[in-house]
Amino acid sequence: MEQHIQHNSRLIPEGDNRIFTAIVNQFCLEFGSCTRYIGIPKHHKELAKALKASKLDLHLKISFPTNGAEVFIPLVYFSDIGNHIFQFPGFAINVEQDEVTDLDVAYFLDLATAEVQVLYPQWQPINRDLLLSHALAFARQKITCQTNLEVKFAAFIERFKGKQTGHQLLYSDLAMPWFQQHLKGISDCSSPQFELDEVFQLGSLMGSHKILKERELMKSVYLHLKSIVQEEQNEGVKNLLQRRHMEIKGELFNCAGNYMRSVFNPLQLYYYSSKLLAPSSTAHVFHRYFDQEKVTIKIRPFDLEKDLPMVYEWFHADHAKAIWKMDWSMKALEDFYRTLLAAGTSHSYIGEVNGEATFNFEVYWATRDILGDHYDVAPSDYGTHLFIAPTDKQKKFPSLITRSIVEWLFMQPEVGRLVGEGSVESRAALMNKVQVGFKLQHIIEMPHKKAYLNFCLREWYWEKFPQNQHHSPKSFINENN
């Protein structure tokens, strides 16, 4: 007999939830069009009303520009590997009309098909019934594989899951050695990526049960593979570690044609900085006093409630419109920040000069940013976008601000190199970066601008400011220390 669960006054077959989950996760894996959305917006009434129904603070957001729609699904667990866990039902909202529509598997596949046909115009129109039948069969196969994995590691998962918080550190200390022992099964082979598939799935299984965080597990996998390279000079594993993307065979739409897709390499999470990209609070993270100028610079993560009205005013100033190009409606700006702050691949910060908020900047992980498509990106590359609000030169202090940001970023061990893509029209901003140690490279053509690629290494920064070379990673720095 089919089991049903009560959810939001609807009866939903439990099996349908797993099928829908498998289809959504595969689409996001293959086409990378999903992100997270945090909280309930104040300036988007129809969206707020629909989001409140789930009673969750986090949703997966998938954009379908061909149909002018966005899909939101309540998110119980976000997986870096792509095995997200949802709370159904979700909904679709028309971007222009703000019309909300219930979401089921068939409607989701209709939206997805429209996007895929744009990517592969050489395909014949995809038969709706054939696709639905294929997707359901694919989902059942994925569920079977996942179930087999759960059965295989059931004893281990049962041993560690759901433990009290007070004992979590102890259980983690026991779980990590077990996982590392399991990694020893990865040996020298012609296809190391194939051997890793189960390891990745196990990592997401442990993460979803809150045994260990996926990112920590992926760092452990990276170090294990790195040791194989050092001991055996294994070129296949070496190439895998250095690869930004992994190539996978497309499965969700292969009833229409054969295709390959690139997915981000989860092993590069070794270089992921949670402090930069997913801060746990809005408290100040950096504080520096410049004695000669009598200036104090502070940096804190963006506070949505407090900072949104402020940056809205900043971005609508005349000098901001031409350069920053974020003079949007309050609704659009709020939606942008609710996505950005939840995304985990970039984060926004507010800077204060002598106690007054005067600048905004975003930190981004270059390997997951559009900039990474335009040069030979390294997984330890991090970049920033900086906007200084005041036009009064006595309040701007661009050099001190840039130095503070660079100093703070280089305190993070995951950061190997700072990168930038300054517009060729922003000569003053480019020269300011050069003064603190950045070196201009070549001009790159990005979709939205022509820019100078620029880099900064710790050594280049220390050449400019040797007094900072021996600072330990701490939140307060005095220029005279």
On whether both 44 and 136 belong to a single domain, the answer is yes
Q: Which amino acid is at 128?
A: R
Q: Is the pLDDT of residue 465 over 50?
A: yes
What CATH number is associated with residue 292?
3.40.630.30
Q: What is the pLDDT of residue 116?
A: 97
- The whole-number pLDDT of residue 110 equals 97
Percent of the chain at pLDDT exceeding 70:
90
The yes-or-no verdict on residue 219 having pLDDT over 70 is yes
Rg (CA), the chain: 24
State yes or no: pLDDT of 191 exceeds 90. Answer: no
- Does the pLDDT at position 323 exceed 90? no
Mean pLDDT is lowest, of 145-149, 345-349, 423-427, for 423-427
Q: Residues with Cβ < 8 Å from 395, sequence gap 6 or more?
A: 353, 356, 358
Q: Residue 254: what pLDDT? A: 96
Is the Cβ–Cβ distance between 212 and 206 less than 8 Å?
yes
Same-domain status, 467 and 332: yes
Residue 148 lies in a domain: no
Lowest mean pLDDT among 132-141, 420-429, 439-448: 420-429
pLDDT tens string 387-397: 999 988 778 89
Do 301 and 417 reside in the same domain of the chain? Answer: yes
Q: Are 69 and 113 in contact (CB under 8 A)?
A: no
Mark whether 177 and 135 lie in a shared domain.
no
Query: Is residue 178 pLDDT above 80, yes or no?
Result: yes
Q: If you average pLDDT over residues 417-423, what whole number do you get?
A: 93
Domain, as residue range, for 382: 274-478
Q: pLDDT grade, residue 429 (50/70/90)?
A: confident
With respect to residue 156, please indicate whether it lies within any of the assigned structural domains: no
- pTM (predicted TM-score): 0.91
Same domain, 424 and 312: yes
Q: Average per-residue pLDDT in the chain?
A: 89
Q: Residue 198 — very low, low, confident or very high, per pLDDT cuts 50/70/90?
A: confident
Q: Does residue 312 sit in the same domain as residue 236?
A: no
Instruction: Pick the range with the lowest mean pLDDT from 167-181, 244-258, 272-286, 324-338.
Output: 167-181
Confidence of residue 164 (pLDDT cuts 50, 70, 90): very low
Domain stops at, among 250, 270, 290: 270
Q: What are the phi and psi torsion angles at 437 (to 5°)?
A: 120, -5
Do residues 319 and 424 share a domain? yes
**pLDDT tens-digit readout, 136-161:** 999 999 999 999 999 999 988 888 76
Residue 75 lies in a domain: yes
Mean pLDDT, residues 108-132 taken together: 96
Same domain? For 265 and 279 the reply is: no
pLDDT of residue 423: 86
Q: Indicate the range of 204-208, 392-396, 398-402, 426-430 predicted with least confidence.
A: 392-396
- Comparing 82-86, 231-235, 397-401, the range with the smallest average pLDDT is 231-235
Q: By percentage, how much of the chain surpasses pLDDT 90? A: 74
Q: What confidence tens digit (pLDDT) does each residue in 91-110 have?
A: 999 999 999 999 999 999 99
What is the pLDDT averaged over residues 455-475? Answer: 79
Residues 452 and 439 in one domain: yes
Residue 150 inside a domain? The answer is no
Q: How many domains does the chain have?
A: 3
Contact 247, 356 (CB under 8 A): no
What confidence score (pLDDT) does residue 118 get? Answer: 96
For residue 15, what are the contacts with CB-CB under 8 A and spacing of at least 6?
A: 2, 3
